[in-house]
Amino acid sequence: MSNVIDAAIFRKMFLAGAKNLEAKKEWINDLNVFPVPDGDTGTNMTMTIMSAAKEVAELPENPDMAVMAKAISSGSLRGARGNSGVILSQLLRGFTKVMKEHDTLDITLVVEACDKAVESAYKAVMKPKEGTILTVAKGMCDKAHELHGNGCDNMQAFIEEIIKEGDIVLDHTPDLLPVLKQAGVVDSGGQGLMQVLKGGYDAFMGKEIDYTIDAGAGSKSASRPVTESAEASAEEDIKFGYCTEFIIMLNKTFNIKHEMDFKSFLESIGDSIVLVADDEIVKVHVHTNDPGMAIQRALKYGALSNMKIDNMRLEHQEKIFKTSEKAAAGVNDGTGLPEDVEVTIEACGDAKQGVAKENATDESSEPRKDVGFIAVSVGAGLDEVFGSLGVDMIISGGQTMNPSTEDFVNAVAKVNADTIFIFPNNKNIVMAANQATYLVEDKKLVVIPTKTIPQGITAIINYVPDMSVEENEAHMNEEIGNVKTGEVTYAVRDTQIDDKNIKQGDYMGIGDAGILANGKDMDEVVMAMIEEMVDEDSELISVYYGEDIEEDKASALTDLISEKYSDVDVELQPGGQPIYYYIVSVE
């Protein structure tokens, strides 16, 4: 057994780790602290690592270590979803900073890479918590230092002992984070990291593994469509007909001047441009009538891979034809007459990831404006609320559907504004949105850390056009602090948390800081939850009912709320959100 890891071995280890995580993702999802039907840590981590695994799988059998390091770093960075996915991407990014400088890794270099990995991950989290994936990573890094200091020179024994330590630290996470102990689970992110390492160790030991990476593996958001009205679709003139995508494997320095020159060239032949440049690769997306010109210019900088060209006019005509057939048959979406039918247009390539509804027209058809808005939302009613407030681009997502960093980058490319405010509207999406700010250079991105849909709505309402960007950022951040949010769903397992005994099937009212109420009757749970949220300063209660709640039932509940809180304004809105029967805000 070799005591060094070369590029070929590391490639197998990384792919095996990704495959093992993918195989265990549902088990990891079930470790969610709250017993709600939206546990997504395993899914987020899988989609993050699979984004990198796809790039690694496309490399030659014996890749250069630096090229592979870049594929892992950039792939995981762009594909990062949720807090756990972002942290995993930063662990990988830190590790690859060391490995890219060497042809092989010995124990000394692995220890150095572990240090960089942990350092990068901790820096990515504003307020690191112990008892999480960070703790597990740091524990294994400390063990690596101990083994190295004791003269360990056997790579197999070194990896074995680090994994054993990781399991020990993981088992200890409930002692560090009381919420885990109450729920009777270990940290799900830490468990995900352990599955990556265990899969990698199997490959190191020569275990027979299928290293094939499915091109669609983990791409839960790939089916999330861009929607627009059928009438608008029929009238739309597609100015540039070919969606063109590729990756440039750089063979020379690609500095800021090269980047600006290349962008200017792409702008001269097309639109909808996304250009993400890193040290070794450049990812390109452009709509153009002459893909060959884009490809020819790109070849000046290096070899091309992941090439994909779609004829959007042909796809567009097929969609319109199918929509016309539906309209003729009298099909509608429940919102109005057949002419109100919405057609689902699958956007090309990565640009479709997570984008649910576009309220802005193509960048090239409107003058650039000072400020634009992007919000994450799920549910037709909530989408309509954000659209009515002037949001330019809505990214479909939330619980169980955390958009990736690249989803935000692609959405930003479609909003023709100098400054773009982003509203993640979910605490598990804020980090991915923040990460997008490092990948966009031609626009200023301001992430307002909204953790709930009501916070996002309040933030946008409080935007003041006459204020500066900085003043608006401070103002909106202050206002979201005045919003209390409660969400009602059901329990998927028995547990005890927040001093409440919860049975499978119970309705739960979850507040900003924990579970506020639970029981067998949904309306009673909603009322009990609101009682915990309302105080003497409360002026407004807003209720958004989900896709599983009929309007009459929601109206009856709202009447009860109005009767009990007669001195508070009560509003009812159709949200259409899945999983959560009601989302309630108190301001």
What residues have CB less than 8 Å from 449, skipping those under 6 apart? 424, 430, 477, 480
Q: What is the mean pLDDT of residues 308-320?
A: 66
Query: pLDDT tens digits for 490-547?
Result: 988 888 887 788 888 899 999 998 899 999 999 999 999 999 999 999 999 999 999 9
Higher-pLDDT residue of 562 and 77 is 562
The per-residue DSSP string of 348-364 comes to SGGGGTTEEEE-S--GG
- Tell me how far apart the alpha carbons of residues 526 and 128 are, in angstroms, rounded to a whole number: 33
pLDDT confidence bin for 339, thresholds 50/70/90: very low
Please determine, for residue 337, whether its predicted confidence score (pLDDT) is greater than 80: no
SS (H, E, C) 281-294: EEEEEEEECCHHHH
pLDDT confidence bin for 224, thresholds 50/70/90: very low
- The full length of the chain comes to 587
Please determine, for residue 382, whether its predicted confidence score (pLDDT) is greater than 90: yes
Mean pLDDT across the chain, nearest whole number?
Answer: 83
Q: Which of 414, 335, 71 is nearest to 213 (CA)?
A: 71
Query: pLDDT tens digits for 388-443?
Result: 999 999 998 876 678 888 899 999 999 999 999 999 999 889 999 998 888 888 89
Percent of the chain, pLDDT > 90? 52
Q: Where are the domains of the chain?
A: 5-218, 353-480, 484-586
Q: Which of 139, 143, 89 is nearest to 111 (CA)?
A: 143
| Model pLDDT, residue 1 | 65
Judged by average pLDDT, the poorest of 164-173, 182-191, 458-467 is: 182-191
Please determine, for residue 340, whether its predicted confidence score (pLDDT) is greater than 90: no
pLDDT confidence bin for 283, thresholds 50/70/90: confident
Q: Which of 275, 302, 291, 306 is nearest to 78 (CA)?
A: 275
| Model pLDDT, residue 492 | 81
| Model pLDDT, residue 37 | 60
Judged by average pLDDT, the poorest of 133-137, 352-356, 393-397, 575-579 is: 352-356
Q: Are 17 and 197 in contact (CB under 8 A)?
A: yes
Query: pLDDT tens digits for 249-278?
Result: 888 778 767 877 888 888 889 877 766 666
* CATH numeric code, 5-218: 1.25.40.340
| Model pLDDT, residue 138 | 96
Please determine, for residue 474, whether its predicted confidence score (pLDDT) is greater than 60: yes
Which residue type, as a one-letter code, is found at position 88?
A: L
Q: Which of 264, 409, 434 is nearest to 350 (CA)?
A: 409
Q: What CATH class is the domain 484-586? A: alpha beta
pLDDT confidence bin for 12, thresholds 50/70/90: very high
Please determine, for residue 198, whether its predicted confidence score (pLDDT) is greater than 60: yes
pLDDT confidence bin for 7, thresholds 50/70/90: very high
| Model pLDDT, residue 215 | 54
| Model pLDDT, residue 316 | 54
Q: Are 327 and 336 in contact (CB under 8 A)?
A: no
Please determine, for residue 361, whether its predicted confidence score (pLDDT) is greater than 50: no
Query: pLDDT tens digits for 31-50?
Result: 876 666 655 788 889 999 99
Which residue type, as a one-letter code, is found at position 46?
A: T
**Residue 34 backbone phi and psi in degrees, to 5:** -80, 135
Q: Characterize 254-274 residue by residue with b for buried, 16 or more Cβ atoms within 10 angstroms of its Cβ, and e for exposed.
A: beeebbeebbeebeebbbbbb
| Model pLDDT, residue 185 | 85
Pairing of strands 369-377, 417-423: parallel
Q: Which of 329, 351, 317, 180 is nearest to 238 (CA)?
A: 317
Which stretch, 271-280, 336-345, 486-495, has highest mean pLDDT? Answer: 486-495
Higher-pLDDT residue of 323 and 587 is 587
Please determine, for residue 293, whether its predicted confidence score (pLDDT) is greater than 50: yes
Percent of the chain, pLDDT > 70? 83
How are the residues of the chain apportioned to helix, strand and coil, as percentages rounded to the nearest 5?
50, 20, 30
pLDDT confidence bin for 111, thresholds 50/70/90: very high
| Model pLDDT, residue 213 | 73
Judged by average pLDDT, the poorest of 70-79, 185-194, 462-471 is: 70-79
| Model pLDDT, residue 286 | 83
Judged by average pLDDT, the poorest of 28-42, 169-183, 222-236, 363-377 is: 222-236
Which stretch, 71-85, 101-115, 309-323, 363-377, has highest mean pLDDT? Answer: 101-115
Q: Are 144 and 111 in contact (CB under 8 A)?
A: yes
pLDDT confidence bin for 321, thresholds 50/70/90: low
Please determine, for residue 100, whether its predicted confidence score (pLDDT) is greater than 60: yes
DSSP 534: -
Please determine, for residue 472, whether its predicted confidence score (pLDDT) is greater than 90: yes
Judged by average pLDDT, the poorest of 41-55, 211-225, 296-310 is: 211-225
| Model pLDDT, residue 526 | 96
- Tell me how far apart the alpha carbons of residues 288 and 241 are, in angstroms, rounded to a whole number: 6
Q: What's the CATH fold of domain 353-480? A: Rossmann fold (3.40.50)
**Does residue 586 sit in helix, strand or coil?**
strand
